[in-house]
Each structure stands twice: as structure tokens, then as C-alpha cells.
Amino acid sequence: RSMAQPQVHDTPSKSQLEQVAQAVRDLLHQPEYDDGSAGPVLVRLAWHSAGTYCSATNTGGSNGAGMRYEKEGGDEANAGLQHARAFLEPIKKRFPFITYADLWTLAAVVAVKEMGGPSIKWRGGRTDFTDDNKVPPRGRLPDGSKGADHLRHIFYRMGFNDQEIVALSGAHNLGRCHSDRSGFEGKWVNNPTRFSNTYYKMLLVNDWKKKKLDNGKEQFVYVDEDLAEENEDGEASEEPEELMMLPTDIALIQDLSFRPWVELYAEHKDIFFDHFSKVFAKLLELGIRRDKNGNIVNEENQHDGYKS
């Protein structure tokens, strides 16, 4: 941005954003945490911050960073995301010019790219709520124990179609389920810190067996002997790796409208990357209206000078 142009005082400059992005890259490697990366839980933080959007009422979405408040942060669907927020807190302290809402969404875009995924268009300018008045009600995020109808109910509310539901679900290439967070257990793919289309390939293995966990939750599991981790002697360890799928993941291969997209993305990684990039960018913009300069024009600030 050239010096001659008027500055929007609360939108960070490009070089400021690059400093933040670099700080996110620097924190991704976390040898003590999960599979060694903060990336997956950062992606989930951005998704849950945005996935509360309701197009009918134009409420929810990533603007506001409402998850800092108990009303939203305490939703059981958000269990565990305090780890993601804690990872980012030192960055927020170091770069106070960025809002939480911008930081959470930017961190996910940086993490996806660093983990080998596509570049995703990101735009800043989100503001943070200063109280919990506009925080969306709980219960707007998907429940993994349900099926295709539930997926459509939740994602159509945000304004997504079937193709976009399947493309978004490819984020389950990353990370894992934790029994002390969602109650589900395990990872979807063998290398959960590398963004890829393996999730779709695994879905089509078609050998998923229902398993009831001790806590009563039902998920699907698959044990691939070829994927079993090798020990130092190059032999498979005693316990081959068990991969998992949620009932909502399995719905993607059972439903006749979802399934062709799973097949396409399993076959063509480049198409998946392209579609994921577009749909994740759309997710992060839900509920955000911008003027022709890209500045955010939301209901709450229409009367304070943004209106022309």
C-alpha cells in the first residue's frame, strides 16, 4: 500500500500481516502437542468461529470472535479449542493491532498452507465484540453422531451446497478426535499434519466397521495392516494403526448426492485443493459485508461513518 493512499486506521498493513503470518508459522511445530503440530486445532478454531453463521438471520460467523465469551466458548462443540486460542495468545500480545477475529482466521489459512495445502484467499478487517450481546446461540455446529439430513440442515443454513459440504469435510485430513473433547477417538488419516486428499481415499476403502466406544459413542473404524507403523526392525508393530470416521463422514459415501464428490476428490487432488481453497475462503467471509474497498460494513457499524 502506497503512502499516498488514505489509511484505514484499524486495518493492519500488508507487512504487519506478514509478521503475524510468520509468527503463526513459527508456532506450528509443537513437539509436545498431539501429533506434533498446532495446525489442525487452529484450523478447527477458525471453522468453529465461522460455522455459527445463519444466513436467514445474518447472525454468527467469524466476525466478533465470540468464542472468547463463555456463551459461545462453553458450547460443548467447542471443547478443546481453548488450546488453539492459547497457542495464539502470545501472538495477539506481540501484535495487538490484529483483532482476535482476524488472527483466528488468518492462522488457519497460514496453517493449511504450511501443512502442504492450497493457498486460501484471506481478507482482514474483522472486529472483536466487546460484550456477548451479539454472540450466536449454542448448538449451531454439527453433531458428528448424525447423518446426511443433519449435515444439510447445518450447512444449508450457512449457505453451502452439497459439493461445498463434501469439500469442506476434507479438512478431516487434519488432526484427530480426542476422547476428552468430543468423546470420539482417533485420526482420519495416517499422517494428520499433512494436508492432502487422503481422507476421501480412506472413505472409499469401504471397509468401515461400526465400533461402540466405552463412553457409548459410535464411530467407524478401519485397520489397514499396510499402514501399520513399523518398528526399528522394519516389522509392523503389534498394534496396527486404527483409523476412524465419524457417522457424519460415513454419510458422505452413503448419500447419493455427496458420494460423487468424494470420488472426484479422491481421484483428483488438484480439484480438491482448488475447491477447498474457494470454500474455506467463503466460510471465513460468512456474515461479513464489505464495501468496494474491502472494508467491513456490518449492521452494527453502519451508522458510524462507513455509510456513504
Is 142 an interacting residue with respect to ligand DDH (CB under 6 A)? yes
> From CA 259, how far away is CA 257, in angstroms rounded?
6
Cell numbers at 176, concatenated: 484427530
Instruction: Give the closest residue to 128 by CA, choosing from 289, 283, 298, 294.
Output: 298
Nearer to ligand DDH, 109 or 177 (CB): 177
> Please, are residues 208 and 245 in contact by the beta-carbon 8 Å criterion?
yes
Of 113-121, 178-186, 222-230, 293-301, the segment contacting ligand DDH by CB under 6 A is: 178-186
Could you write out the DSSP letters of every residue in 150-213?
HHHHHHHHHT--HHHHHHHHGGGGS-EE-TTTTS--EESSS-TTS-SSHHHHHHHT---EEEE-
Is 175 an interacting residue with respect to ligand DDH (CB under 6 A)? yes
State which of residues 140, 152, 181, 217 lies at the interface with ligand DDH (CB under 6 A).
181
State which of residues 25, 71, 80, 211 lies at the interface with ligand DDH (CB under 6 A).
80
Is 41 an interacting residue with respect to ligand DDH (CB under 6 A)? yes
State which of residues 184, 208, 222, 273 lies at the interface with ligand DDH (CB under 6 A).
184
State which of residues 23, 135, 171, 189 lies at the interface with ligand DDH (CB under 6 A).
171
183: left (phi over 0), alpha (psi -120 to 50) or beta: left
Nearer to ligand DDH, 12 or 195 (CB): 195
Residues forming the site for ligand DDH (CB under 6 A): 40-41, 43-44, 47, 80, 142, 144, 151, 168-169, 171-172, 174-178, 181-182, 184, 246, 248, 280
